């Protein structure tokens, strides 16, 4: 009885999300779809037609742009997933794994744009690697004219996305690990003569994948519609589809804004279609693998790739590390020309300058990120608690969980333009509270992805025990359950915060350019030429989430220093 009563009260949380997300998504969708049908009153276009679509399909290089987008998106997702599954099955709990686990938080905290900038400074024909090798090894006095960055097939872009998404999937795997009963399964499997890798692929991966599924979809959506990384590393003529859309959106002539809207609708369809296709492949693969799972083979060929795989992983991590290091070097540079291995003149003036300029944006970033994360976290915990209590009767339907991921699936620029229109109509544009709300739209899904499994897995007996011992439901929740879940909650809050830090388009559009965050400063400066200043700003952008991740890891240890089981 009490359970029902409590969950009844808690249903305010999902209800609130349904309504608020519903209105925003409808506005965003209308803001995309109506202009794509030639409806744009500001330019006097009020007659519906398919003209923007016709222009879209006639756009030069469209097919190639779409193909390269699909290729990079699918290849990045597929490779990240394969790497994750192979890594976990070959190295779980090994020293390499533990080492990687320690590096995970700093790697995850690197914003995509900052990473892309560092990576391009590293691998370009005039990048650091080539500078270190020239002229002694390569005999190059001037940089070779090689297409290493901005290659027409988007291979560099794909590699960079793998480097960012693979650690994310490992993190999700870690948070799901508690539910998989990995150790006992491995014991049983191995005692039956199965190689460890075989147990993983036959028993554990099929159980792990459902926990990864939403993250895989998020990666598909992200990598198909990514703009910042694609601008820096992706092909340029034609660019990836999302960049193409951005160029239309920023074209001075109004008719192209309508084409941008049609393009956004198409990109959304591409994302939805790809996810549907992957969903079907999952089903097929599950069906096809059924016989293989029970065919009794105990030996796995996978153990042979252990060495190359560890090499690949170490290379990935080294590249990530070097990409940050090169930013540090550039940030202290005054003069540095190819092929010098290191700057010929150093200076700290860009740091003085950057730190002085960054004070106000830093406060704004912290305040917005903290508020948006806090509100999102309250809503997510409210929903999950509602869900946990409903367990026996009726689990929240998957429709709800699909619904809250929609903001991640719609190309941001057009979606936000639609949201902006709604805000302007209600005179809410340029207000800080609207800005916070726009960040919540993007934080909330990530909190669900990272927290859901652990939260719903919380042993209800602990909770019931506390209640039986005379505590009220509230006190059991705040005094027992939340403290016990502090570590995963803080970690997922750190992810939410870093999502907020990275938001550029919502901050500019919804905030009407009234609010300056670290990211708005980084992005505006990155449009210019000065690598030294950009490096300083990118590092500052990178530091903030890193500090927050550090706190998320250290705080539980500090708070529960005398309670070993809570670490």
Partner 1 sequence: MKRFSFHLILGLTMVLLLGGIAHAGEWEDIKKQARGQTVYFNAWGGSQPINDYIQWAANEVKNDYGVKVIHVKAIDIAGVVSRIMVEKSAGKNEGGSVDLMWINGENFKNMKSNALLYGPFSQKLPHYALVDVENKQTTVFDFTVPVDNMESPWGMAQLVFMYDSQRLDHPPKNMTGLLEFAKKNPGRFTYPGIPGFHGTTFIKQAMLELCADPDALSRPVDEQAFDDLTRPLWDYLDALHPLMWRKGKAFPESASKMIPLLNDNEIFISLSFNPNEAANAIANSELPESVRTYVHESGTIGNSHFVAIPFNASAKAGAMVFANFLLSPNAQARKSDPKVWGDPTVLGMDKLSPAQKTLFDAIETPEATLPAKALAKVLPEPHVSWVTALEKAWLDRYHQ
Cβ 390 vs Cβ 7: under 8 Å: yes
Nearest to 377 by CA among 446, 432, 433: 446
Q: Three-state SS string across 10-56, please? A: HCHHHHHHHHHHHHHHHHHHHHHHHHHCCCEHHHCECCCCCHHHHHH
**Please, what's the b/e burial string for 474-511 (b: 16 or more CB within 10 A of its CB; e: otherwise)?**
eebbeebbeebbbbbbbbbbbbbbbbbbbbbbbbbbbb
Q: Can residue 533 be called a binding residue for partner 1 (CB under 8 A)?
A: yes
- Which residues, 6 or more positions from 76, have their beta carbon under 8 angstroms from its beta carbon? 157, 158, 161, 162, 165, 219, 223
Q: Can residue 253 be called a binding residue for partner 1 (CB under 8 A)?
A: yes
Interface with partner 1: number of residues (CB under 8 A)? 66
**CA R_g for the chain:** 25
Q: Can residue 337 be called a binding residue for partner 1 (CB under 8 A)?
A: yes
Task: Give the interface segment with partner 1, choosing from 66-74, 89-97, 267-275, 515-523 (CB under 8 A).
Answer: 515-523
Residue closer to partner 1, measured from CB, 117 or 302: 117
Least distance (Å) between residue 371 CB and partner 1:
21
Q: Is 74 exposed, middle or buried (0-12, 13-18, 19+ CB in 10 A)?
A: middle
Q: Can residue 392 be called a binding residue for partner 1 (CB under 8 A)?
A: no
Q: Can residue 508 be called a binding residue for partner 1 (CB under 8 A)?
A: yes
Q: Can residue 231 be called a binding residue for partner 1 (CB under 8 A)?
A: yes
Contact with partner 1 (CB under 8 A) among 113, 429, 452, 455: 429
Q: Can residue 521 be called a binding residue for partner 1 (CB under 8 A)?
A: yes
Cβ 38 vs Cβ 45: under 8 Å: yes
The rounded distance, in Å, linking the Cα atoms of 127 and 110 is: 20
Least distance (Å) between residue 424 CB and partner 1:
4
Task: Give the interface segment with partner 1, choosing from 109-117, 145-153, 169-177, 461-469 (CB under 8 A).
Answer: 145-153
The rounded distance, in Å, linking the Cα atoms of 354 and 489 is: 33
Residue closer to partner 1, measured from CB, 59 or 303: 59
Least distance (Å) between residue 240 CB and partner 1:
13
Q: Can residue 252 be called a binding residue for partner 1 (CB under 8 A)?
A: yes
Task: Give the interface segment with partner 1, choosing from 181-189, 400-408, 414-422, 440-448 (CB under 8 A).
Answer: 414-422
Which residues in 348-377 contact partner 1 (CB under 8 A)? 353
Q: Can residue 527 be called a binding residue for partner 1 (CB under 8 A)?
A: yes
Task: Give the interface segment with partner 1, choosing from 140-148, 195-203, 287-295, 455-463 (CB under 8 A).
Answer: 140-148
Neighbours of 287 (CB within 10 A): 9
Residue closer to partner 1, measured from CB, 293 or 428: 428
Q: Can residue 334 be called a binding residue for partner 1 (CB under 8 A)?
A: yes
The rounded distance, in Å, linking the Cα atoms of 158 and 323 is: 16
Q: Can residue 47 be called a binding residue for partner 1 (CB under 8 A)?
A: no
| Token representation of residue 348 | 């700290």
Q: Can residue 228 be called a binding residue for partner 1 (CB under 8 A)?
A: no
Q: Can residue 528 be called a binding residue for partner 1 (CB under 8 A)?
A: yes
What 3-state class would DSSP assign to 134? coil
Nearest to 513 by CA among 410, 407, 364: 364
The rounded distance, in Å, linking the Cα atoms of 145 and 148 is: 9
Q: Report how far apart, in Å, the C-alpha atoms of 307 and of each of 299, 310, 313, 318, 371 are.
A: 17, 5, 10, 16, 45
Residue closer to partner 1, measured from CB, 188 or 425: 425
The residue assigned the tokens 């940089």 is: 143
Q: Can residue 64 be called a binding residue for partner 1 (CB under 8 A)?
A: yes
For the chain, the distance separating the N- and C-terminal CA atoms, rounded to the nearest angstrom, is 34
Q: Can residue 48 be called a binding residue for partner 1 (CB under 8 A)?
A: no
Residue closer to partner 1, measured from CB, 336 or 448: 336
Residue closer to partner 1, measured from CB, 151 or 282: 151
Cβ 264 vs Cβ 411: under 8 Å: yes
Contact with partner 1 (CB under 8 A) among 126, 185, 190, 310: 126
Residue closer to partner 1, measured from CB, 142 or 462: 142
Least distance (Å) between residue 213 CB and partner 1:
35
Q: Can residue 525 be called a binding residue for partner 1 (CB under 8 A)?
A: yes
Contact with partner 1 (CB under 8 A) among 20, 185, 310, 512: 512
- Which residues, 6 or more positions from 554, have their beta carbon under 8 angstroms from its beta carbon? none
Binding positions for partner 1, rule: CB under 8 A:
40-44, 59-61, 63-64, 125-126, 141-143, 145, 147, 150-152, 231, 235-238, 247, 249-254, 257, 334-335, 337-338, 345, 347, 353, 417, 420-421, 424-425, 427, 429-430, 508-509, 512-514, 516, 520-521, 523-531, 533
């Amino acid at each position: 009885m009490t359970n029902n009563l409590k969950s009844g009260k808690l249903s305010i949380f999902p209800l609130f999300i349904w309504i608020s997300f519903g209105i925003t998504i409808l506005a965003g969708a209308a803001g995309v779809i109506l202009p794509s049908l030639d409806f744009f009153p500001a330019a006097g276009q009020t007659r519906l037609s398919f003209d923007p679509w016709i222009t879209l399909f006639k756009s030069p290089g469209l097919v190639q742009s779409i193909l390269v987008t699909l290729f990079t998106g699918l290849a990045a997702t597929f490779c990240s997933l394969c790497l994750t599954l192979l890594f976990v099955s070959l190295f779980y709990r090994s020293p390499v794994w533990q080492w990687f686990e320690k590096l995970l938080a700093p790697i995850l905290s690197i914003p995509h744009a900052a990473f892309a900038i560092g990576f391009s400074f590293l691998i370009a024909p005039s990048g650091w690697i080539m500078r270190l090798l020239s002229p002694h090894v390569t005999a190059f006095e001037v940089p070779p004219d090689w297409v290493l960055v901005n290659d027409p097939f988007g291979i560099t872009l794909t590699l960079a996305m793998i480097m960012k998404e693979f650690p994310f999937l490992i993190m999700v795997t870690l948070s799901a690990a508690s539910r998989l009963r990995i150790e006992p399964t491995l014991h049983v499997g191995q005692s039956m003569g199965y190689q460890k890798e075989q147990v993983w692929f036959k028993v554990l991966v099929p159980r792990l994948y459902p926990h990864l599924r939403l993250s895989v979809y998020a990666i598909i959506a992200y990598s198909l519609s990514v703009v910042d990384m694609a601008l820096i590393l992706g092909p340029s003529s034609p660019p990836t589809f999302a960049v193409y859309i951005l160029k239309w959106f920023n074209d001075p002539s109004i008719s192209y804004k309508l084409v941008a809207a049609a393009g956004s609708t198409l990109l959304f369809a591409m994302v939805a279609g790809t996810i549907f296709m992957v969903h079907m492949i999952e089903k097929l693969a599950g069906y096809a693998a059924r016989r293989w799972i029970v065919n009794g083979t105990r030996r796995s060929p996978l153990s042979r790739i252990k060495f190359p795989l560890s090499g690949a992983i170490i290379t990935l991590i080294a590249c990530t590390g070097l990409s940050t290091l090169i930013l540090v070097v550039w940030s202290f540079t005054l003069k540095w020309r190819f092929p010098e291995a290191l700057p010929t003149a150093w200076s700290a003036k860009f740091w003085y300058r950057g730190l002085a300029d960054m004070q106000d944006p830093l406060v704004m970033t912290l305040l917005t990120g903290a508020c948006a994360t806090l509100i999102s976290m309250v809503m997510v915990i409210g929903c999950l608690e509602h869900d946990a209590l409903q367990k026996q009767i009726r689990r929240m339907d998957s429709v709800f969980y699909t619904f809250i991921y929609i903001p991640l699936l719609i190309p941001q620029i057009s979606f936000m333009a639609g949201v902006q229109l709604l805000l302007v109509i209600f005179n809410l544009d340029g207000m800080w509270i609207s800005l916070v709300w726009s960040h919540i739209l993007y934080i909330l899904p990530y909190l669900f992805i990272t927290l859901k499994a652990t939260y719903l897995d919380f042993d209800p007996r602990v909770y019931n025990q506390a209640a039986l011992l005379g505590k009220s439901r509230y006190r059991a929740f705040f005094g027992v359950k939340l403290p016990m879940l502090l570590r995963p909650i803080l970690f997922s809050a750190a992810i939410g915060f870093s999502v907020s830090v990275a938001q550029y388009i919502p901050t500019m559009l919804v905030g009407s350019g009234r609010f300056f965050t670290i990211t708005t400063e980084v992005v505006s400066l990155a449009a210019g030429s000065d690598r030294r200043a950009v490096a300083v700003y990118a590092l500052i952008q990178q530091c903030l989430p890193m500090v927050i991740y550090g706190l998320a890891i250290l705080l539980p240890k500090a708070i529960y220093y005398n309670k070993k089981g809570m670490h």
